Amino acid sequence: MKLLRIMGSNFKVLKLVELEFDPEGGLVVISGKNGAGKTCTMDIVSACLGGKKLCPEKPIREGQKFAEIEVETDDWTVTRRFVEGGTSTLKVVRADGCIVPKGQTFLDTVIGKIGFDPLQFVNEPDAKKQRKTLLDLVGVDLTELDGKIKALREQRTAVGRTLKQAEAEVEASDVFPDAPDAEISVGDMLQEIEIAHAVNRAIDSAENHIEQLNIRIAELSENIAQCNGMVAEEMDYISKHQRIESNAIRAQIQSAEETNRQVRANAENKKIVAHALAVSKAHHELAQGIKAAEADKQSVLNLAEMPVAGLSVDEDGVTFNGIPIAQIAESEKIKVGLAVSMALNPTLTVLLIRDGSLLDKDNMALIEEMVKEKGFQALVERVDDGSGEVGFYIEEGKLKE
């Protein structure tokens, strides 16, 4: 549907403005000085068709009792009348003269995003809101995947902290490559000392006994044979046993304590390394999970029919050819904004551009080319700069002839 005519009487600062448009579409400039009524003229379309949410708080011109705005398309005519007290009435009449019941419901159903400004989309400061607008347009809901990715990232961050701690513990733990795998039994060596003491005591006893026997031999010559036999027995014991040096065993015990400390340190190191490896594995698995979820999200976005090639979203907002939309060139912003806004308004092919004074001649030419190609009408509000642009000129609330 195309705009054929708009009219505003006593609307905001307007006295009476009526504009007729070329149904073939194209660029329509609405210019004038500041305060002359340009914005009010643009607001006729949005307030008339968009419902109460787009109507101004004070729609009636100062000193008047009512205001009326009207929008005519090639299919129907919409008239909204405001009266004192803040109430308004709406009438929608088809081209065949039939009145449409529940006019606003009808308009909400067939029109879409009336008054959507393509520059408003690309210059939207809230990247999350901009992202949601685009995803709603292409019918993509990434809530579940975004939530999954966020949860995985939070898990990975937590595991990453644990991994750093585990790696630090590995770095700080002691390792002794030359230490045996098992601890030395100090108890066994203490038992060896007891045995040594017992053997030494036996040897001492045998030596004492020999000495006593030699004295007795001297004293008791008659028992020499007997004593010699006993001496032989003791000498036999001595020949079969060697004196054990207990100091050497004590030194071994001291060495064993150090060895055992190293064995325990190695065992603890193995536990720490095993823990670090397990945490590293969990961290890697979470990273793979995030990669898979990102791939799923990209598959969803690849299947989505974007208004313009190269348009997509990331976690932070909308991108164009991989670059955040806020960082792209002004001409690309205009192309993206126009493509999105035209997709949002498939029924009534009208765009309202309110910051037209910020556009240079090249950008104006670009907009005109794109809207003509798609059969759209673009109403552009511009402050009079003395350039003598062709279009409608608003002066003191009226159309200047």
Cβ-Cβ contacts under 8 Å for 80 (sequence gap 6 or more): 47, 48, 55, 68, 69, 70, 88, 89, 90, 91
Cβ-Cβ contacts under 8 Å for 89 (sequence gap 6 or more): 80, 81, 83
Cβ-Cβ contacts under 8 Å for 58 (sequence gap 6 or more): 12
pLDDT confidence tier of residue 13, bands split at 50, 70 and 90:
very high
Report the alpha-carbon distance of residue 354 to residue 44 in Å, rounded: 13
Intra-chain end-to-end CA distance of the chain, in Å: 27
Report the alpha-carbon distance of residue 341 to residue 349 in Å, rounded: 9
pLDDT score for 155 = 92
pLDDT confidence tier of residue 387, bands split at 50, 70 and 90:
low
Report the alpha-carbon distance of residue 27 to residue 16 in Å, rounded: 23
pTM: 0.61
Percentage, residues of the chain above pLDDT 70: 97
Q: What is the mean pLDDT of the chain?
A: 85
Please report, for residues 33, 45, 100, 118, 391, the alpha-carbon distance to residue 372 in angstroms, rounded to integers and kept in the order given: 27, 20, 31, 15, 16
- Per-residue pLDDT tens for 324-369? 988 988 888 888 888 888 887 777 788 888 878 888 888 888 888 8
- Per-residue pLDDT tens for 146-178? 889 889 999 999 999 999 998 898 888 888 888
Query: Among all chains, which residue has been given the structure tokens 């164009």?
Result: 320
Domain assignments of the chain as residue spans, ordered by start = 3-116+345-399, 147-293
Answer whether 292's CB lies under 8 Å from 327's CB: no
Span 270-280, average pLDDT = 90
pLDDT confidence tier of residue 187, bands split at 50, 70 and 90:
confident
The CATH superfamily holding the domain 3-116+345-399 is: P-loop containing nucleotide triphosphate hydrolases (3.40.50.300)
Q: Please, is 1 exposed, middle or buried when counting C-beta atoms within 10 Å of its C-beta (0-12, 13-18, 19+)? A: middle
pLDDT at residue 114 is higher than 60: no
pLDDT confidence tier of residue 179, bands split at 50, 70 and 90:
confident
- Per-residue pLDDT tens for 33-78? 888 888 899 899 988 988 888 888 899 999 999 999 999 988 899 9
3-state secondary structure the chain: CCEEEEEEECECCCCEEEEECCCCCEEEEEEECCCCCHHHHHHHHHHHHHCHHHCCCCCECCCCCEEEEEEEECCEEEEEEEECCCCEEEEEEECCCCECCCHHHHHHHHCCCCCCCHHHHHCCCCHHHHHHHHHHHHCCCCHHHHHHHHHHHHHHHHHHHHHHHHHHHHHHCCCCCCCCCCCCCHHHHHHHHHHHHHHHHHHHHHHHHHHHHHHHHHHCHHHHHHHHHHHHHHHHHHHHCCCCCHHHHHHHHHHHHHHHHHHHHHHHHHHHHHHHHHHHHHHHHHHHHHHHHHHHHHHHHHHCCCCCCCEEECCCCEEECCEEHHHCCHHHHHHHHHHHHHHHCCCCCEEEECCHHHCCHHHHHHHHHHHHHHCCEEEEEEECCCCCCCCEEEECCEECC
